[in-house]
Structures are given as C-alpha cells and as structure tokens.
Amino acid sequence: MAKTKNFLLISSVLLVALVFPYVAASDYSVSSPPAKPYDKKNDVIVEGIVYCQSCDYSGTWSLEDAEPISGATISVICRKNSGRINYYKAFTTSEEGYFYAKLDGFAMRDPLLDHPLQACAVKLVDSPLETCDVFTNINYGIKGASLRYEKKSFVTENYQTVIYSAGPLAFRPENCPPKP
C-alpha cells in the first residue's frame, strides 16, 4: 500500500512538472496581443496572343505572316480534379491581339490538384473578323491550350501575382485560294 501511495505521489509530481512549463508559457500576458493570421493576396493571370493565320500556312501550326486579331474572344476554363468546372470567364484581346486575363475569383482548394498549370486551359471563342473566323487547333486552341509557367511573377509582403502563358492561338480564313 505504501508503494502505491509513493507511486501516485511521484506520478503526480512528474505530471505537474511536465504541465507547468506549458501553462507558464501560454499567452496570459496583457502586454502582447495575440498574433493575427497572415493573409496574403494571390492573383493568377493568364496571357497570350490571338492571330489570324495566313492562307499560305493553312493546315499547319505555322504562324508565319500571321496578323494579330483585335477584339477576339477567348475563355479560361479551370476544372477540379474530378473534371467539374470550377472557373470560367471570357476575355477580349487588345488592339495588338494580346489578352491579359486576371482570374478574379479563382481559388485553389488543393495546391497540387487545383493548380492553374494542371487545372486551367484557354480556348478560342470568337473572332470579330468575318474574313478570319474559322477555329484552328494551333497550340490546342479548340481543345484547350495548356498554361506554361515562364517565370513571370510579382511578389511583395502582402501580395503575389503569378503570370502564366497560353498559346499563341489562331483563327484562319474560311476561303483560302488553292495553292499552285
């Protein structure tokens, strides 16, 4: 019985000795407010150019002699790893055929499976040119052009932007003269 009492006494003392540093170190002081969680804003941007392919290269992936299309529409589509779409937005090209698509509202639930490089693609939607409005699959503009990371980013203490590239993409004229 004496051994049991000694064992309980020693166990109690050890337990108090183990717990005391954690109680003493906890944040009970009034002088230091609890730290706020760090909230960094992350933006994802996709860029590229849309062209009108020259009739001389119709049926190829060549963009030699191609002209940029102002006002062309592309879409950025991002899918969950289950295949369901979790982001869709259309964007219009500038006068130089350039699109700069800021993916407002895009969220990565899983940094590996929902990452833009795996989850997002760019597709051709519409050309404003009646003379050049047939879809081509150059760089998979019909199926969905994959994004490429080209080491473009902007990082500050509270903000981070990563810019991905897609394409170039192209439409082609419907009626090209036959090649001699």
CA atoms within 13 A of residue 90's CA, in its CB half-sphere: 9
- The answer to whether 45 and 161 are in contact (CB under 8 A) is yes
What pLDDT was estimated at residue 119?
Answer: 84
- Summarize the confidence of residues 34-47 as an average pLDDT: 64
Cα 137 to its chain centre, rounded Å, is: 22
Residue 40 clears pLDDT 70, i.e. is over it: no
**CA–CA gap between residue 157 and residue 152 (Å, rounded):** 17
pLDDT in tens, 64-87: 999 999 999 999 999 887 888 888
CA distance 113 to 119: 7
Note whether 68 and 98 are within 8 A (CB): yes
CB atoms closer than 10 angstroms to residue 157 = 7
Ordered by where they begin, the domains of the chain are: 41-172 (2.60.40)
What is the pTM assigned to this prediction?
Answer: 0.71
Mean pLDDT of the chain: 79
User: Cβ distance 58 to 64 under 8 Å?
Assistant: no
Task: Provide the pLDDT confidence category of residue 58 given band limits of 50, 70 and 90.
Answer: confident
Residue 150, amino acid? E
Q: Given this model, what pLDDT does residue 32 score?
A: 45
